[in-house]
Structure 1
Amino acid sequence: MHKAIPPSADAFYQTHAGQTCAALLRERLQWFWPDLRGQRVLGLGYAGPYLGAWQGRGALCISARTPEHGMGRAAGHALHQSIGPVRECVVDQYALPFEDEMFDRVVLVHACTDAAQMVPLLRAAGRVLKDDGRLLLILPNALAGRLRQRGTPFAQDVACSRTALRTMLGHAMLLPERRDEALFLPARHACASMRRGRRLDIAGKVLLPGLGSLMLVEAVKDVFSAIPLPLRSSQSWYRKLLLPAQGAATQKQGEPQRRSMPEEQAARIPEA
Structure 2
Amino acid sequence: MQNAMPREECFYGTPPGRVCVSLLGERMRWFWPELKNQSVLGLGGAVPYLHALGDASTLRIGASFGGVQGDMVLQPGPCCVVDPASLPFEAQRFDRIVLVHALQGRENPLTVLRSAARALKDDGRLLMVVPSRLGGRARLRRTPFARDASFTRPKLRQLLAAAMLRAEQWDEAVFLPASQACRTLRRGRRMDIAGKVLCPGGGSLILVEAVPEMYSALSLPVQHKKGWLARMRMPSAGMAGAPRAGKTP
Change (3 A) 1:244 1:46: closer
Q: Which residue of structure 2 aligns with residue 15 of structure 1? A: 14
Contact 2:91 2:118 survives alignment (8 Å): yes
1:218 matches 2:209 = yes
Q: Distance in 1 between matches of 2:141 and 2:157?
A: 25
Displacement of 1:209 after TM fit?
0.9
1:61 matches 2:50 = no
Displacement of 1:223 after TM fit?
1.5
Runs of 5+ consecutive residues of structure 1 not aligned to the other structure? 1-5, 260-272
Contact 2:36 2:55 survives alignment (8 Å): no
Of 169, 172, 195, which aligns to 1:204? 195
Of 120, 126, 140, which aligns to 1:129? 120
Percentage identity across paired residues of the two chains: 48
Q: Which residue of structure 1 aligns with residue 3 of structure 2? A: none
Q: Distance in 2 between matches of 1:182 and 1:226?
A: 29
Q: Which residue of structure 1 aligns with residue 143 of structure 2? A: 152
* TM-score, normalised by the number of residues in structure 2: 0.86
Letter in 1 for 2:39: R
Letter in 1 for 2:28: L
How do 1:32-111 and structure 2 match up within 5 A?
A: 32-69=31-68, 71=70, 75-76=72-73, 79-80=74-75, 85-111=76-102
Aligned alpha-carbon RMSD (Å): 2.6
Aligned residues: 241
Report Cα offsets for 1:122-169 as digits up to 9, x if no partner: 011111111111111000000010011011000000101112211211
Q: Distance in 2 between matches of 1:228 and 1:144?
A: 34
* SS of structure 1 residue aligned to 2:124: strand
* SS of structure 2 residue aligned to 1:175: strand
Between 115-124 and 13-22, the greater mean CA deviation after superposition: 115-124
Q: Distance in 2 between matches of 1:193 and 1:119?
A: 35
Q: Distance in 1 between matches of 2:216 and 2:62?
A: 29
1:164 matches 2:165 = no
Report Cα offsets for 1:19-57 as digits up to 9, x if no partner: 011001111100101101111100001112211122534
* TM-score, normalised by the number of residues in structure 1: 0.80
Change (3 A) 1:71 1:243: closer
1:116 matches 2:107 = yes
Higher-Rg structure is: 1
Q: Distance in 2 between matches of 1:213 and 1:228?
A: 34
Contact 1:7 1:153 survives alignment (8 Å): no
Change (3 A) 1:47 1:86: farther
Letter in 2 for 1:7: R
Q: Distance in 1 between matches of 2:173 and 2:68?
A: 23
Displacement of 1:228 after TM fit?
5.4
Runs of 5+ consecutive residues of structure 2 not aligned to the other structure? 1-5
Q: Which residue of structure 2 aligns with residue 267 of structure 1? A: none
Contact 2:36 2:54 survives alignment (8 Å): no
